[in-house]
Amino acid sequence: MDNTDVIYNLAKILNCDARKNEPMSKHTTFKIGGNADAYIKVSNLSRLSAILKECRASGVDFLLLGKGSNLLVGDEGINSVVLNLDGDFKNITLIDETTIYCGAGASLASLCKFALKFDLSGLEFAWGIPGSVGGAVFMNAGAYDGEMKEVVHSVSHITKDGEIGEIAKENLQFGYRTSVYRKNGCIITGVTFKLKKSPHDEIQKKMDDYIQRRNSKQPLEYPSAGSVFKRPKGNYASALIEKCGLKGKTVGGAQVSEKHAGFIINKSNASAEDVKNLIKEVHDTVLKETGYDLECEIIML
């Protein structure tokens, strides 16, 4: 029995949903990726703490997976334990008339619906982003001139040692697609949001407008991981890629979207290697022809 089996067996004892050799293609929006040694859905803080402590004691690597919306998993899979926050981590609670506490495992869609229900404005920009709340805070997700940093009040977390903590807004080190959680190794467990009261119809109108824009401009009919490259200073990645004639460019089953050049889509059973090679070709071509050194936004495993 290897150390991964130790974690798997503990998860079973803790009544977690635990699976061996789970295809990651089932758990990423790219629909790409080989098997993980063990995939475990963790439903509460005490179980998560126990598993993290055992991972440390056994020397087992783990990966926290949200909705897999900004991730490319290799064809060879993941030789470690993949943890997914479920159960209590999906709960959303109204703390006071303008404050929401949301578990990190909840989807952004469910959070936006909850805020709308209580006539709370500030999260409209996130409507349609296909990620988890924890993942969105981790990378300071944003769209349509809005970012998570504008509405997050504080973030709860657990360390790799199983210790519980919290970081206030002023110490979250939010930046373009980054936060302190990209560096500190902690797992986000929940987020407190400060929003503003607004007429229900106005919030709904903004959400409808943003989702209509997404549907008309983004290739949502194909699996993808959203925007591939970060926005370069003074320009747009999609405009640079289109200028270089790369719209529709394919490598294997991967394609630069003909609808939006900032997206690479899994058009026909693409492998992770197809996507990686296409990302490299786009990057190198744009650098050679425009001088812009595009930075990849997708996390690759």
Active site residues: 177, 227, 297
Residue 163 Cα to chain centre, angstroms = 23
Residue showing tokens 């990651």: 24
Report in angstroms the alpha-carbon separations of 298 from 109, 127, 129, 177, 279.
21, 20, 15, 11, 10
Spatial separation of the C-alpha atoms in residues 210 and 217, rounded to whole Å: 11
Spatial separation of the C-alpha atoms in residues 133 and 103, rounded to whole Å: 7
Largest CA distance in the chain: 58
8 Å CB contact between 220 and 212: no
Interhelix angle 200-217/108-117, rounded to 10 degrees, is 150
Three-state secondary structure call for residue 70: coil
Structure tokens that stand for 78 in this block: 């993941």
8 Å CB contact between 157 and 188: yes
